[in-house]
A and B are shown apart, each in its own frame.
Chain A
Amino acid sequence: MAFITPSTTADAYDVVVVGSGAAGGQAAYTLTMDGARVLMLEAGRNYDPSTETPMFQTPDMAPLRGTATPDKPYGFFDATVGGGWTVPGEPYTNASEDPARQFMWYRSRMLGGRTNHWARHALRNGPYDFKPRSRDGLGFDWPISYQDVAPYYDKVEMLIGVYGTKEGLENTPDSPDGVLLPPPKARIGELLARQRARRIGIPVVPIHRAVLTRPLDHVGIPPKLHPGNAKAQRILAEDMRNRAACFWATQCARGCAIRANYQSTTVHIPPALATGNLDILTDAMVREVPVDEAGKATGVIYIDKRTGSEHRVKARVVVLAASACETVRLMLNSRSKRFPEGLGNSSGLVGKYILDTVGANWGGQIPLLENLPLHNEDGAGGLHVYAPWWLYKEQLAGTLGFARGYHVEFGTGRGMPGGFAPYVPDAGGRTTFGAKLKEDARRYYGSHVGFSGRGEMIPNDDSFCELDPKVVDKWGLPVLRFHWRWSDHETRQAAHMQKTFADWIEAMGGVNLKKPLNDGAKVIDPGGKVIHEVGGTIMGTEPGKSVTDAWSRTWDVPNVYVADGGVFASNADKNPTLTIMALAWRAADRILDEMKKGNL
């Protein structure tokens, strides 16, 4: 029995994995496919995308026409369960009252975590991104390089399925032949944006997204991913056959009942369960990683949320994959005689160097896209193209006023009307109504472009989290208190984004709906808003200066690994999740190796 209750857990496992998102899913997959006995503990409830995904529901079937509310910040149908910007009973705090120094923390409480609703942008970090300090003297280099991670990017891309092309662009790695799936055709607004972007020197190319534009090669891929392991190959081949290709309708953020995009619940967990080596406990909140006299972790202590009772489970290895900040909290809450400041925290660095992505948004209206002939632009349920960072020369010359780059995600098109008012210009302040309203709504529908910049933040001493000395959650566990500050590198970058978007809109013959601001501090999204939080347990070459080694193992406790984004020593402009999965696979391979050698 795979989904088990506390009374039926085995006495001991090879590995306990805390969390079931991108990190926990990948770790559990790799470990169980190679024969390790694994228990996955998830604080949220069980979640089944095949029966719980509102694929074709229209907004009129939802309360408030599906609009965003504090209960569902991305709309009613979004695949976030039990969370959002707040989680009932599990608060967090900010140390400062200053609006510019707030950190926002988005969490889910469900099997699969936030992978059920993520936007599926799956970009590789480039070679520069692992050695940023060597390039510009800021932040930290990773103890590993692109070459170390590249084979794992290949594996993850083949396993989950990612569309995209090889463009040969600087610091924007190509995948080897046969790894990516074909990109979908660009929508009309994307084609126009690309043509006009060229005039202002911005490259637009197919984005990489974890969506199956055709079925996975269930014959060719399994032997590549699991050489010499016939059982794993068989299980994976069978599972790949059961994943359908995208049918070009519905919105990926609701999840995908036909398993055509990546969610931990549709891609990692099913084959891992099929091995018979995985047990999963949901509604299980891990509160502590206890250690023995020798300073080795003995397993975990968790709270059964349904009864409030506490349980222990033993394991040879503990993998922390609760998401970067939750892992920090768990480590800081795991105090012992041996580790009075928290597990793995002899450096005092657990919680330090929390990073998000720099975000700034802008939109315009494009007359060339008015009154288009009706056609279906649902496509792959998200972006088809984007602009990778392009100003490497200026960056190296130091002429930009900020150190690191950004990429541009943008959307145009005739997507399903959501719970927002139709855009009509209301010229001269006159509120349009009647026949003219319908006419205008039709005319302007699909004639907009919305840009989001996604930029690299540099780690700083004022952006970190720690245990709040007073506030506890409903289980009595101390909660996180965040400290945040953007440096000039980030705010100037945000202003640059907005200026770029305004120029781009003009190049498209479009109308900027407002004047862009020069003040980056007003333009930049609050910390955490882009939901790419990483860092807090960074990897490095030396114990005193980092929390984990190059294999994501904590320096202090030899049998505790961090599989989530906590180990990131920098946060490239590339969205983090593909890298999280690549590193989780790599850490799991190492664990398997060390177990075989008898070191764990």
Chain B
Amino acid sequence: MDRRLAIKWMLAASAGVVMARNPMLGASNPPGIAEPEPPFGYGKDSNLMKASKPGDYWPLTFTELQRRQAAVLADIIIPDDGKNPSATSVGVVDFVDEWVSAPYPDNLRDRKIILDGMAWLDEESVRRFGRRFAESSEADRLVLVEEMSRSQKAEPDAGSSQAFFRLVRDLVGVGYFTTPVGMKDLGYVGNVPLATFDGPPAELVAKLGLVDEVKW
């Protein structure tokens, strides 16, 4: 998950404009010849009606230690704020695990960043505080997270701990805000059938100085 995708999210979220990932950017479709891919992943005709969970389509990766670290990180990124629950409570760790375990080119790229970053984080934590990240004190964890969250550049350098953290943050964000709980938190109130579509609230239209002038 990189910036390119984050920006696409907002475009995709803009209703109706179809945004697809450009396969030219992935290793899946080299210029010159568009070869069929070997069957992998969930394929091109899976049952769309059946709800699935991480692990159903390909084996997961995280060890117990990695899961613990991911859980701590996820809940620092999206904590329980008293109003809405935290990232781990809606299965975000399973999602991140599913993401880094998937066989697609983007996932393979992210897998390396995440697994290397997680190993580094534990080493760094042991080196400085004598304990793995998940076992260190809240204050010590926060020191590391603060450092990882600060980048001199808008896009952190590839391979840096800042780039690792940016990716984890994006993945945790996706994992959380795409659940019913996260959608509610975000303020998405659709996906319910309505008898009529009434457009935006009249007060809002007036406040922005707009007029709804479609005649029919």
Please report A residues at the B interface, Cβ cutoff 8 Å.
45, 51-54, 56-74, 76-77, 80-94, 96-99, 102, 104-105, 119, 165, 182-189, 191-192, 195, 206, 247-250, 253-254, 361, 363, 365, 368, 372-383, 409-424, 426, 428-435, 437-438, 441-442, 444-446, 448-452, 471, 513, 526, 529
Contacts and interface: CB of A to CB of B under 8 A. Distances in A.
A111 to B, nearest CB: 13
Given A93-B34, A421-B6, A81 B187 contact: no
A282 to B, nearest CB: 13
B15 A375 contact: no
18 contacts: A51-B49, A57-B51, A69-B106, A70-B28, A81-B45, A82-B44, A192-B208, A376-B190, A382-B16, A383-B15, A423-B9, A423-B10, A424-B173, A433-B76, A433-B77, A437-B169, A445-B13, A445-B188
A495 B179 CA distance: 38
Contacts of A421: 1, 5-6, 9, 169-171, 173-174
Contact of B151 (A69, A83, A373, A431): A431
Contact of A56 (B10, B14, B191, B196): B191
B127 interface: no
Interface of B: 1, 5-24, 26, 28-29, 31-37, 39, 41-46, 48-49, 51-52, 54, 56-57, 76-79, 81, 84, 90-91, 95, 98-99, 102, 104-107, 145, 148-156, 162, 165-166, 169-171, 173-175, 177-180, 182-183, 185-201, 203-205, 208-212, 214-216
A581 to B, nearest CB: 20
A106 to B, nearest CB: 9
Contacts of B194: 247-249, 376
A428 B154 CA distance: 6
Contacts of A411: 11, 14-17
B11 A416 contact: no
Nearest to B104: A69
A70 B26 contact: yes
A415 B13 contact: yes
Contacts, number: 377
Contacts of A186: 199, 212, 214
A373 B105 contact: no
Contact of A188 (B81, B102, B149, B204): B204
Given A188-B205, A253-B18, A413-B13, A165 B215 contact: yes
Contacts of B57: 63
Given A88-B36, A423-B6, 8 more contacts: A66-B178, A77-B48, A94-B33, A188-B204, A378-B15, A418-B13, A431-B162, A448-B13
A99 B191 contact: no
Nearest to B184: A374
B159 to A, nearest CB: 16
Contact of A450 (B10, B36, B46, B155): B10
A45 B24 contact: no
Contacts of B175: 65
Nearest to B43: A71
